[in-house]
Structure 1
């Protein structure tokens, strides 16, 4: 049930290394044999571009149930948390190896916004490398359900007054006996309305030192009466899973602090770095989806008696995109391989060269994806502007990506600083 044309002109050209091919084959087989038939059987909830949203702009319960089913099936097959070490139930893949998994998943899972195919791979809602800092008891309670796909998470970093400047968070954690009381407001929280577990960054009252040394990361069960889901954030992606989150006298136990007071900001950045490291594979996968759409349309659509693909004005953006996808794949895998050799995503203190690589991996593929999506809309013409065309959503996603997990400008600033330009 492959979604790609059998006469794919680039079949076999975007190579996967022999050491990674078996796991990528397993991922593709899972999507084609499990996910696509499941989506087809439940087309009422995902068949159209916005069928997955309710009247309030949030994801429908039926679609979330589909995601949960695919997530659990994937976890049962050992595919959901391939990015984590085997010791915690993950697949033990390096970042370079995981690039090829992400590429495959996003090539298949880009056609509409319901993210059912993408639910097979842990993303924002899944177990992050930051949680490797939990002790054994904490791992059993908080990490294992995420690895096994039984629960989902969100992370509360961004606030109305704290975006790029994470040290400006105003959410507080106050000691209360053997526990903590959290108060504050978080904004633009992906999976905020539906998460089982929230990871909340807060400033610890009474802690001494500069702001970045006074923060803690706290685990919150979202059934806690002090955890409140706020208004939905109806964003450009129309993802249906983003909202404000409020902490109102939210009491948590002492063992719900991750690490120590002072580890909060490094832990938050560990989560952010996980997202940055995943951008290259994500963008390459969506880029290949766009290229598939452009090639198919250019060959099938006729004007003046000939396929539009015979015109150079249509050929050039396709050629440029195919070339640049090759470049991003080589760039991404090379930098990820170099990063793997010097650091881990769960390291709380990243070497200067590692920080530079992560910032490059974040902004450069995103910029290219935005260009590819713009070209795809132009090649498809009026159809490209339509939701049914399947590419306008990627354009919106591409525009969104350049802000979360650190804006393009912040990435360039980091690169400049690591080059001694400050």
Structure 2
């Protein structure tokens, strides 16, 4: 749902200018230093990027889902490292509070997340609990007015920067599945929290992930998000939205890769003519364009349905699966179009090829999306 087309266009123009004039020129710098400059992060705060999806009541921009995915299409025009700085605030780091948090939690944390003063992080994955999220082992034992958290979370995005963690922990050890899990909002300065070393990853240089360790971490009952035992439901609602965000970003970055490949194909000559004249190059360009268009349509359709208040678990899984797989195919074709140059880090496609591989893994692998989609199909067929 688009509320005001003129205001939205102004926002999209601003984001587009920021991406092209400030972020694209320093992509290689971030790739080499693995650090997003602080002055760039401050400009992100000034532009309101940390509060895209947080309501105006709490100092955010309060974008609808459709408006947010349109912004993500623009943000996809540059390295994922930049979006990662604020993406947890607009997605998984704040969504649990927005969806199921108490009024007190919203008033205390959302304004700071919207301004970028706080960076939020989402702690679900563990060493033995990734795709099988309901099998997590982190515990939260009730002790009077407090819960005592113990366990280790793995691959946690923005953990080294985070001021708050949305933590999924098992409050009822007698229940082995999802119903024994609760969600907690934990401040990073709480005693008993420590961080592992920052992960060295294949791609997405400048994005930070690491382990988060809870050792007898004492959390007041007021930090429980929603009801005890409802944490996994909160997590799944958070991921529904997050998957649409990743799908939209995959579309944007696929468009960037294709535009770079098209420019290269028009300039690079072989056999006394641009390689863009060769039909097999044209086939790769055309297939990529069509698949990007299809993914964009899926993302927009799912976003509009979410804005209408519909359950979009099925649609968000379809969009996430298709868009991220599409993005990987486009990256591969674009390397091929560049030929040997595509394997050299002088060209952006070399790092984008590594960067986008992660999209098919986090917030639910492609295989998990297939299971979600098929289960919905079977359920609908047997009603």
TM-score by length of 2: 0.90
How far, CA to CA, are the matches of 1:181 and 1:29 in structure 2? 45
Tell me whether 1:25 sits opposite 2:10 in the alignment: yes
For residues 375-419 of structure 1, the C-alpha deviation after alignment (integer angstroms, 9 at most, x for no partner) is 000001111112221012222232211111111111111111111
**Partner of residue 315, structure 2:** 357
Tell me the SS of whatever aligns to 1:175: strand
How far, CA to CA, are the matches of 2:75 and 2:56 in structure 1? 21
**Partner of residue 130, structure 2:** 163
1:255 equivalent among 199, 222, 236: 222
**Partner of residue 281, structure 1:** 248
**Partner of residue 9, structure 1:** none
- Whichever structure has more helix as a proportion of its residues is 2
1:222 equivalent among 176, 184, 188: 188
Indicate if the aligned counterparts of 1:277 and 1:362 stay in contact, CA closer than 8 A.
yes
For residues 98-117 of structure 1, the aligned pairs below 5 Å read 98-107=68-77, 109-110=78-79, 114-115=81-82
2:200 equivalent among 223, 230, 234: 234
Deviation, 1:296, is 0.8
1:52 equivalent among 33, 53, 69: 33
2:45 equivalent among 56, 72, 82: 72
How far, CA to CA, are the matches of 1:364 and 1:35 in structure 2? 25
**Partner of residue 7, structure 1:** none
Indicate if the aligned counterparts of 1:20 and 1:97 stay in contact, CA closer than 8 A.
no
Unaligned runs of 5+ in 1: 1-15, 54-59, 344-350
**Partner of residue 333, structure 2:** 375
**Partner of residue 62, structure 2:** 92
The farther-off stretch of 178-187 and 197-206 is 197-206
For residues 271-350 of structure 1, the aligned pairs below 5 Å read 271-343=238-310
Indicate if the aligned counterparts of 1:182 and 1:249 stay in contact, CA closer than 8 A.
yes
TM-score by length of 1: 0.82
Deviation, 1:20, is 4.0
For residues 210-240 of structure 1, the C-alpha deviation after alignment (integer angstroms, 9 at most, x for no partner) is 6322211111111223111013222222434
When residues 97 and 259 of structure 1 are mapped into structure 2, their CA distance, relative to the original with a 3 A threshold, is: same
Tell me the SS of whatever aligns to 2:196: strand
Indicate if the aligned counterparts of 1:24 and 1:101 stay in contact, CA closer than 8 A.
no
Deviation, 1:327, is 1.7
How far, CA to CA, are the matches of 1:340 and 1:367 in structure 2? 25
Tell me the SS of whatever aligns to 2:341: helix
Indicate if the aligned counterparts of 2:156 and 2:212 stay in contact, CA closer than 8 A.
yes
**Partner of residue 347, structure 1:** none
Indicate if the aligned counterparts of 2:89 and 2:114 stay in contact, CA closer than 8 A.
no
**Partner of residue 397, structure 1:** 355
Deviation, 1:274, is 1.8
Tell me whether 1:204 sits opposite 2:189 in the alignment: no
Unaligned runs of 5+ in 2: none
**Partner of residue 51, structure 2:** 81
What is the RMSD of the two structures over their aligned residues, measured on CA atoms?
2.5
For residues 21-52 of structure 1, the C-alpha deviation after alignment (integer angstroms, 9 at most, x for no partner) is 642432332452x56655599x5xx5436223
How far, CA to CA, are the matches of 1:40 and 1:160 in structure 2? 35
**Partner of residue 123, structure 1:** 87
How far, CA to CA, are the matches of 2:226 and 2:2 in structure 1? 37
Aligned residues: 376
How far, CA to CA, are the matches of 1:400 and 1:365 in structure 2? 13
The farther-off stretch of 334-343 and 357-366 is 334-343
How far, CA to CA, are the matches of 1:67 and 1:178 in structure 2? 42
When residues 18 and 91 of structure 1 are mapped into structure 2, their CA distance, relative to the original with a 3 A threshold, is: closer
Tell me the SS of whatever aligns to 2:76: helix
How far, CA to CA, are the matches of 2:128 and 2:305 in structure 1? 36
The farther-off stretch of 92-101 and 239-248 is 92-101
Tell me the SS of whatever aligns to 1:189: strand
